[in-house]
Structure 1
Amino acid sequence: HKKNMKIILLGESGVGKTNILQRFVLNSFSEDGQSTLGVAHMSKNTKIKGQDVSLKFWDTAGQERFRSVSRSFYVKTDVALIVFDLTKAETALQLEYWIKEYHQFCPNSQITLFGNKQDLNSPEKEESIEIATQVAEKYKCNFYQVSALTGWQIEESITKEVEIAIDKPKEDAPSALTQQNKKGCC
């Protein structure tokens, strides 16, 4: 039988969440730079560890005004890809915000950090990598440098994270914390 995996992309506006998703699902890159409004959805059927898997991606808007809308899509997520821009250290400084925000609703779900725009040089790149490395160590999650433009490490890193998630038992019942937060925000 086909296994369904729900993957959500979180992060600040303009870091490349949509382009990472388009690169993985469609093997394309769009330079129009339009921000996602609310939440967008894409799917990809693939084989992982010899098993048919249907990957359901939820691409969220990074702008503050859409954050409450995005929260409703956190439920029953298998993997959260928290994306930041390697060339802008301020987006790396927001990683802990996104982890804490997400963990309020999905405390046991897998989190992965994606530093996008690996192909670009920037005076802030080293600082961004250092911040992300420290955050990954603190929260015991993986950190990948990727490039949506070139496709570098996109396929491999998402596939690896899905493999890890497949091996984890899925939580069926929402935690008391999740239920408590649902009352407060929805």
Structure 2
Amino acid sequence: MTDKPIKVILLGDSAVGKSKMMERFLREEYNPDNSSTFGVTIHRHATEVGDKDVMIEFWDTAGQPTFKELHPSFYDRAWGCVLVFDITRKETYTHLNEWYTELLQYRKGIPCCLVANKIDVDPTVEGRSFNFATKHKLPLYYVSAASGKNISQPFDDIVKRAYECLLNPPDDIIDDVLDLIQ
């Protein structure tokens, strides 16, 4: 087991389903309650990457603008990012540029994947491509926290890629690696 957990952040507007995705992935449950995350909720998850036991900390961040002052702490020592939008609300897709720009400001070089959530509402979206993913060369996953469809795919991918990033960090975050191993 790694000495310190590997931090993976979830970003996106409020009510895109970040918390519901975590609930479905970690507990295989779904509660339709619509409560919002206040600040950040941290979920710990023990898993394996290859033959290594690793501990992951998923930071489920609040998407409301009132928590913008907290954002720098969300990014600190993160090794992966899951960027989420709600296919039923166009503005959540439009705001991806702001979230991604902020990610690059604080953690340029860490792996990121894009998740289109709520495909249970409109299953035809699965065949659609999204320019944001293509433009930024991000893996794109179509999921439904409500039904559980494809829910583990983005998390399994980002855990593996975050672990690889920790082992082979980009030059601009090498100090974080040195701090982790001391």
TM-score interval, normalised by the smaller of the two chains:
0.7 to 0.9
Distance across 2 between alignment mates of 1:29 and 1:112: 22
- 1:146 and 2:147 matched: no
Identity of aligned residues (%): 33
Deviations 1:80-139 (A, max 9, x none): 1111101112211111111001111111111111111011128xx75xx54xx2111211
Distance across 2 between alignment mates of 1:83 and 1:98: 10
**2:16 matched to which residue of 1?**
15
**2:152 matched to which residue of 1?**
155
Equivalent runs, 1:63-78 vs 2, <5 Å: 63-78=64-79
What is the aligned residue count?
Answer: 168
Distance across 2 between alignment mates of 1:71 and 1:23: 27
Contact 2:141 2:153 in 1 (8 A): no
Provide the secondary structure at the position in 2 that maps to 1:135: helix
* TM-score, normalised with respect to structure 1: 0.83
Equivalent runs, 1:2-81 vs 2, <5 Å: 2=2, 4-81=5-82
- 1:118 and 2:119 matched: yes
Contact 2:47 2:54 in 1 (8 A): yes
Aligned mate of 2:175, from 173, 176, 179: 173
* Aligned alpha-carbon RMSD (Å): 1.8
2:139 maps to amino acid: N
Q: Structure 1, unaligned stretches of length 5 or more? A: 175-186
CA offset at residue 156 of structure 1?
A: 2.2
* TM-score, normalised with respect to structure 2: 0.85
Distance across 1 between alignment mates of 2:23 and 2:50: 23
Deviations 1:8-46 (A, max 9, x none): 111011100100111111111121110111111111101
CA offset at residue 165 of structure 1?
A: 2.5
**1:82 matched to which residue of 2?**
83
Provide the secondary structure at the position in 1 that maps to 2:146: coil
2:33 maps to amino acid: D
- 1:136 and 2:141 matched: no
**1:181 matched to which residue of 2?**
none
Distance across 2 between alignment mates of 1:78 and 1:20: 19
Q: Structure 2, unaligned stretches of length 5 or more? A: 177-182
Distance across 2 between alignment mates of 1:160 and 1:102: 18
